[in-house]
Amino acid sequence: MSLPKRVKIFEVGPRDGLQNETALVDTDTKVALVEKLADAGIQTIESGSFVSPKWVPQMAGSEAVFGTINRKAGVTYSALTPNMRGLERAISAEVSEVAVFIAATEDFSQKNTNCTIAEGIERSAKLTEAALAEGLQVRGYISVAAGCPYQGEVAATDLAPLAKALIEMGCYEVSLGDSIGVATPGHIKNIVDAVATEVPVDKIAMHLHDTYGQALANIYAALEMGITVIDSSVAGLGGCPYAPGATGNVATENVVYMLNGLGIDHGIDLDKLIATGDFITQKLGRDNGSGVARAMLAKHSSAS
């Protein structure tokens, strides 16, 4: 199957990336990260989450982030909204779009949101209805779509009705999350095949973690299946606080480097992206999770 000519990167570093860091990040740093990502050419940035700081302290101050960023024309600044209070806060902060989420297994749903899958769907439907009434676009996430830390492997056929429910409630797109990074390319193809029985391929995105080092291979498999939206995180930031052992999201730099090699358009300046990843990892005092960034930064350092 031929590969797509263009791929959209959905950058999740400022939210899904930072929320799993132990160090708290100040508002100015969060704002700088979002603005640098936009300057690098990324057109959709998940910039925060309106969740209680009691549960996710790293996301405290999302109002300040959205209120401070210098918004660039043509860039979508998205936020995760887990409940109605979160949605109200997001609306007040004038976010560009919001995201709702459900889980693929009962155990993960209970551990993550203290509700059943059915209750999660019902809650997301109410949030989506309210967001659409405010003129906001809504994106849907399905967590642990490839495997669950509590229940093990997830059958691909279980995902189709969940994705259908999200689309039918009004989500413009469903992002399938391999939250613990256990999928392989064959698994990804089975997942896309199954979900595509209920949801058009152009409404499916992939959100892949690199725990087992399979993320790029999985993305390539998804591209072969016609997927054109990939979630990724600058410098490979992130993980999953409810999935023990899960490492970061696939690094945006690695994805862009691969897309460059495939001749697939994406509109992102790799050098600026690498500089952005270097900026945030230095602020966090952690290693850069992108192999591409580490190699290119070392190359530039030796050349100078």
Question: Diameter of the chain by CA atoms?
Answer: 57
What is the model's pLDDT at position 245? 61
User: DSSP 3-state assignment of 76?
Assistant: strand
Confidence bin at 246 (pLDDT 50/70/90): low
Side-chain-side CA neighbours of residue 143 (13 Å): 29
Active site residues: 240
Residue-range domains of the chain with CATH: 8-303 (3.20.20.70)
Residues 39-83 have pLDDT tens digits of 999 999 999 999 887 778 788 889 999 999 999 999 999 999 999
Q: Could you give the angle at the alpha carbon of 193 between the alpha carbons of 255 and 173, nearest 5°?
A: 60
- Residues forming a β-bridge with 48: 79
Of 28, 175, 10, 172, nearest to 78 by C-alpha is 10
Q: Could you give the angle at the alpha carbon of 38 between the alpha carbons of 33 and 43, nearest 5°?
A: 130
Q: How far is Cα 88 from Cα 188, in angstroms, rounded to an integer?
A: 35
Place of tokens 């391929």: 201
Place of tokens 């005092």: 285
* Mean pLDDT, rounded, of the chain: 94
Residues 78-103 have pLDDT tens digits of 999 999 999 999 999 999 999 999 99
Q: Is the pLDDT confidence value at 266 over 60? A: yes
Ramachandran bin of 263, using left for φ above 0, alpha for ψ from -120 to 50, beta for the remaining angles? left
What is the model's pLDDT at position 242? 57
Percent of the chain with pLDDT over 70: 96
- Residues forming a β-bridge with 251: 233
Confidence bin at 302 (pLDDT 50/70/90): confident
Sign of CA dihedral 159, 165, 167, 173: negative
Residues 193-237 have pLDDT tens digits of 999 999 999 999 999 999 999 999 999 999 999 999 999 999 999
What is the model's pLDDT at position 57? 76
Considering the entire predicted model, what is its pTM?
A: 0.95
Confidence bin at 244 (pLDDT 50/70/90): low
94 Cα distance to chain centroid: 20
